[in-house]
């Protein structure tokens, strides 16, 4: 089945209540706090899966500790022409150039309003491709969802909206964060705000980004989005398609960037995402400095039971370390991952 058609079928199945629900509570080892949010477990569904807020409750009932919808833009937009989603099956990778296809703020808000979602609800906000002012689009996202979401994610790292990644640099980032956080300050509640960054930033760019971030009251970072690099899949079917690469081939790069970011931002909360495909890779993200993790692409290949596999693996890892909670093993291998010395067992 065409990749995007398969994705649509999965959303439909979830909407119809055909997904399994978690039958037992999460272990105490997995309970954690992120920016004041109490999570039953630190595993979230990443943005990109439920772009239009159609199935956050079914995802939460499956057992995710966080569910992040979006990316949503102020106005609806169709995104890039199809085909725009490609599997690299032999490498368990995915390339997408979706282009922030979504139904806009109003549609997502209408679906979310009044829903009871038994997990932390994140809303990932973006900018319309044809916008005259990208920063204003993010401000509009904060105004629309600040009193509805448990946290917001400012997504400036998609490679599929021309010029968007430029907002990660110096003065552009200062203006963006300044205006976004000023808008947050006017909301009824102080919703945590995360910034989602690209794995393609080099260490000098990370230095500059960290300096800007630490000078604000931003609540956390999400490391990382998809990559435009193709080293890990060179020569494979669909590897030459334009777009962002996710899935297993992204793991090493995104985890190294996670650890390098952790070195630069101290105790600032970080959600680690990119290439998680097994209990071992989930554990590695935590050891590289992630307070919580997200996945999406790996479930294309691993199926819906992967969530339970990850939970059982993390509980076993906590116990094997002689600890009682996953927060006690966050960042235990930061330096090794940052230097490229660490690898999955």
Q: What is the DSSP string of 66-131?
A: EEEEEEE-SS-B--SPSP-EEEEGGGTEEEE---S-B--HHHHHHHHTT---SSEEEEEE---TT-
Residue 298, pLDDT > 90, answer no
pLDDT higher than 80, residue 345: no
| Helix (H), strand (E) counts: the chain | 11, 13
- 3-state DSSP assignment of residue 38: strand
The pLDDT of residue 132: 97
Would you say residue 92 has pLDDT above 80? yes
pLDDT category at 304 given cuts 50, 70, 90 is confident
Cα(224)–Cα(157) distance, integer angstroms: 8
Give the mean pLDDT of the chain.
Answer: 97
Residue in 254, 265, 239, 226 with CA at minimum distance from that of residue 337: 254
Place of tokens 């370390």: 321
- Token look-up 């808000």 returns 109
What pLDDT does 6 receive?
Answer: 93
CA 144 to chain centre: 20
Q: What mean pLDDT do residues 48-76 have?
A: 98
Cα–Cα distance for residue pair 119/112, rounded to 1 Å: 13
Task: Please answer whether residues 270 and 221 qualify as being in contact, where contact means their C-beta atoms are separated by less than 8 angstroms.
Answer: yes
What does the pLDDT read at residue 271? 99
Mean pLDDT of 14-31: 94
Residue 19 has pLDDT above 90, yes or no: no
Q: What percent of the chain clears pLDDT 70, i.e. is strictly above it?
A: 100
Q: What is the C-alpha to C-alpha distance for residues 163 and 166, in angstroms, rounded to an integer? A: 6
**Could you give all domains of the chain from N- to C-terminal order, each with its CATH number?**
3-338 (3.20.20.70)
CA distance 168 to 156: 7
Catalytically active residues are: 158
pLDDT at 299: 87
- Name, in order, each residue with C-beta under 8 angstroms of 131's C-beta and a sequence gap of 6 or more: 74, 137
d(CA 57, CA 62): 9
* Tokens read off for 257: 């960037």
CB 111 within 8 A of CB 141: no
Q: Which residue has the tokens 């989602």?
A: 196
CA torsion through residues 177, 123, 141, 116, sign: negative
Q: What is the pLDDT of residue 207?
A: 98
Give residue for tokens 């890779």. Answer: 281
Q: Which helix (H) or strand (E) holds 34?
A: strand 32-34
Residues 6 or more apart from 322 whose CB is under 8 A from it?
none
Q: End-to-end CA distance of the chain: give it in Å, rounded.
A: 33
* β partners of residue 44: 66, 294
Residues 295-305: what's their mean pLDDT? 89
Nearest to 109 by CA among 143, 51, 148: 148
pTM of the model: 0.98
pLDDT value at position 331?
98
The span from the CA of 130 to the CA of 101, in Å, is: 13
pLDDT band at residue 1, thresholds of 50, 70 and 90?
Answer: confident
What was the pLDDT predicted at 280? 98
Cβ atoms 150, 191 nearer than 8 A: yes
Which pLDDT tens digit goes with each residue over 153-206?
999 999 999 999 999 999 999 999 999 999 999 999 999 999 999 999 999 999
pLDDT in tens, 220-273: 999 999 999 999 999 999 999 999 999 999 999 999 999 999 999 999 999 999
**Secondary structure class of 223 (helix, strand, coil):** strand
Using only C-alpha atoms, what is the Rg of the chain? 18
Instruction: State the pLDDT at residue 263.
Output: 98
């Amino acid at each position: 089945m065409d990749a995007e058609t398969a994705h649509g079928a999965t959303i439909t199945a979830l909407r119809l209540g055909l997904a399994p629900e978690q039958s037992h509570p999460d272990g105490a080892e997995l309970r954690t706090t992120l920016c004041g949010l109490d999570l039953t477990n630190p595993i979230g569904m990443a943005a990109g899966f439920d772009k239009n807020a159609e199935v956050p409750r079914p995802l939460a009932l499956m057992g995710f500790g966080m569910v992040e919808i979006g990316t949503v833009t102020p106005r609806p937009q169709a995104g890039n022409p199809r085909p725009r989603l490609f599997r690299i099956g032999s490498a368990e990778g995915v390339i997408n150039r979706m282009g922030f296809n979504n139904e806009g703020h109003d549609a997502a808000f209408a679906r979310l309003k009044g829903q009871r979602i038994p997990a932390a609800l994140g809303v990932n906000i973006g900018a319309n491709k044809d916008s005259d002012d990208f920063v204003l689009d993010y401000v509009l996202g904060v105004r629309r969802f600040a009193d509805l979401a448990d946290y917001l994610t400012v997504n400036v790292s998609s490679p599929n909206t021309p010029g968007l990644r430029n907002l990660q640099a110096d003065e552009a980032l200062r203006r963006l964060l300044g205006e976004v956080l000023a808008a947050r300050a006017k909301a009824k509640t102080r919703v945590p705000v995360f910034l989602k960054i690209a794995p393609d930033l080099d260490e000098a760019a990370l230095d500059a980004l960290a300096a800007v971030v630490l000078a604000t009251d931003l609540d956390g970072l999400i490391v990382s989005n998809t990559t435009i690099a193709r080293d890990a899949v060179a020569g494979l079917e669909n590897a030459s398609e334009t777009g962002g690469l996710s899935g297993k081939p992204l793991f090493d790069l995104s985890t190294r960037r996670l650890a390098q970011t952790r070195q630069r931002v101290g105790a600032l909360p970080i959600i680690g995402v990119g290439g998680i495909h097994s209990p071992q890779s989930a554990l590695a993200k935590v050891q590289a400095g992630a307070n919580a993790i997200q996945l999406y692409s790996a479930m294309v290949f691993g199926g819906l039971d992967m969530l339970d596999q990850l939970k059982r693996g993390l509980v076993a890892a906590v116990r094997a370390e002689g600890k009682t909670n996953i927060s006690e093993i966050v960042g235990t291998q930061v330096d090794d991952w940052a230097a490229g010395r660490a690898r999955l067992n």
